[in-house]
Structure 1
């Protein structure tokens, strides 16, 4: 597949007058206890456990740039199964990921949206809809212990992969923390820098291009989609020592996440203090996946 082929499938029109931004990343884990331990060892502040009304739970890591990580566990298998039967695309995709052979990993990115209804219509018209839109509400507790009800709308895009998916998220009345203790991290993390995906063939990349609607850049055997707050890089070739994901026949899969930090020396000190094995490459620190952290983590100086 060449760059011209990708450019040919990029949609045009008012939907893409602004460059999309990453909202958050979905990281399936076996347990929130293990995930919390690992991400705290890496120097991140982890929010209290929260629960979805469809059988899953999370323990999020928030950043001052308005993005966050969502380590995701299955809290109630029976309820999750009922939700899938009822057409819940989020839980269905999570189960598909887990059943494909990955106990933990990086399963999805989520775009920030102001109108998930329109997103859903666009995906359907473009032939990349992955299923029904999901509208739901849940109780959230802020840093002061005050509880409120937050509502969300999600629209799903099909990336033709059993190991990776994507959707948009409209926060109907749910604010994200961008200041305060919840976004202050010992490792100095400020937010996302890049997302690393990989595939052995072209499968799913056209759908990804259609969903993102940005001009793709081709370099060094990879395609780079520059978003407003983060790059999405899709490698067509990846060094075996860096690829810790289960082997799938074809299709996109999540490999790793790059974080921007305020001081790389400060970050290195945190890793050394916790005895976290890591590689150094210039101004980058690279950590292989471990229990509770299902993908590569990379830190770079902001």
Structure 2
């Protein structure tokens, strides 16, 4: 793996109605952070885990601060739009990719205010866009946290559904091995067969790719949102107790499918265009 790209930092679900997204994900049992407002004009809520997190990113009407996200939302509605890689040094990652013959974007800094128990603080980040040719199906960037103590706040890493972290993301593609090889080259990690698809293993969450006809093996094809291929379609979350998760979903009136292996699958209709699977 590259020296300055260290696995998945977070995933971004882009939505047009942030209030509805909050309602949906709270019903799934996530304990979301208070609303944050980015300096570029968007707003978000996050579900924080031990080493990674889920971001619900709301775009206001006429938003122009991140054209890739605006195009994603316009083309297919809400969904899993972006993958953020963890980096300890965005500038170092930029140099590392240039040496490898790749063309990353420019390093950019941004921030958002955070209310810490009535005290105003600022969460500051440095990001680096990955080469689009190297990341088919998802806007991918590296994220360096200057203020992790502000992003990971006490009290927000515990979730009623028992989620402890991201387990895997699933890319649906007509050419899954080829597309995943692009990510493998970017990250300098091997691609290996995995069931009916292919997988890259990283610290924390894995990245899996399958053909459309084989996505049922992972997501049972329940209510997939129509979107051009390739695209990220599934988030698998790791939990400690599936019975506890099932109870939370049932109490909230969220329908789910129990897979043959006991994992729990929620339709994209309940998760802003994303198939959500809870796994041990």
TM-score (norm 2): 0.87
Matched, 1:296 2:269: no
Match of 1:146 in 2: 119
Q: Do the aligned partners of residues 156 and 224 (structure 1) sit closer, same or farther apart at CA in structure 2, a change above 3 Å counting?
A: same
Match of 1:229 in 2: 204
Q: Do the aligned partners of residues 291 and 189 (structure 1) sit closer, same or farther apart at CA in structure 2, a change above 3 Å counting?
A: closer
Partners of 1:46 and 1:299 lie apart in 2 by: 17
Q: Do the aligned partners of residues 129 and 288 (structure 1) sit closer, same or farther apart at CA in structure 2, a change above 3 Å counting?
A: farther
Q: Do the aligned partners of residues 176 and 217 (structure 1) sit closer, same or farther apart at CA in structure 2, a change above 3 Å counting?
A: farther
Partners of 1:56 and 1:204 lie apart in 2 by: 30
Q: Deviation digits for residues 209-249 of structure 1, max 9, x if unmatched?
A: 1222212111333111101011111113423824713242x
Show the 5 A alignment for 1:206-217.
206-217=181-192
Match of 2:265 in 1: 286
Partners of 1:162 and 1:18 lie apart in 2 by: 21
Once the 2 structures are TM-superposed, how far is the Cα of residue 148 of structure 1 from its aligned partner? 1.3
Partners of 2:221 and 2:245 lie apart in 1 by: 23
Partners of 1:121 and 1:255 lie apart in 2 by: 31
Once the 2 structures are TM-superposed, how far is the Cα of residue 257 of structure 1 from its aligned partner? 0.9
Match of 1:74 among 59, 69, 89: 59
Q: Deviation digits for residues 127-167 of structure 1, max 9, x if unmatched?
A: 5445332211222222x232112221111113447851211
> For 1:270, what is the secondary structure of its paired residue?
helix
Partners of 1:37 and 1:289 lie apart in 2 by: 14
> Contact 1:152/1:174 (CA < 8 Å) preserved in 2?
no
Match of 2:173 among 187, 199, 203: 199
> Contact 2:199/2:206 (CA < 8 Å) preserved in 1?
yes
Match of 1:189 among 163, 169, 187: 163
> Contact 2:76/2:227 (CA < 8 Å) preserved in 1?
no
Partners of 1:165 and 1:128 lie apart in 2 by: 16
Partners of 2:190 and 2:5 lie apart in 1 by: 10
Q: Do the aligned partners of residues 162 and 291 (structure 1) sit closer, same or farther apart at CA in structure 2, a change above 3 Å counting?
A: farther
Matched, 1:173 2:147: yes
Matched, 1:241 2:221: yes
Matched, 1:39 2:25: yes
Match of 2:2 among 16, 39, 43: 16
RMSD between aligned alpha carbons?
2.4
Q: How many equivalent residue pairs?
A: 272
Match of 2:70 among 95, 100, 104: 95
Once the 2 structures are TM-superposed, how far is the Cα of residue 71 of structure 1 from its aligned partner? 0.7
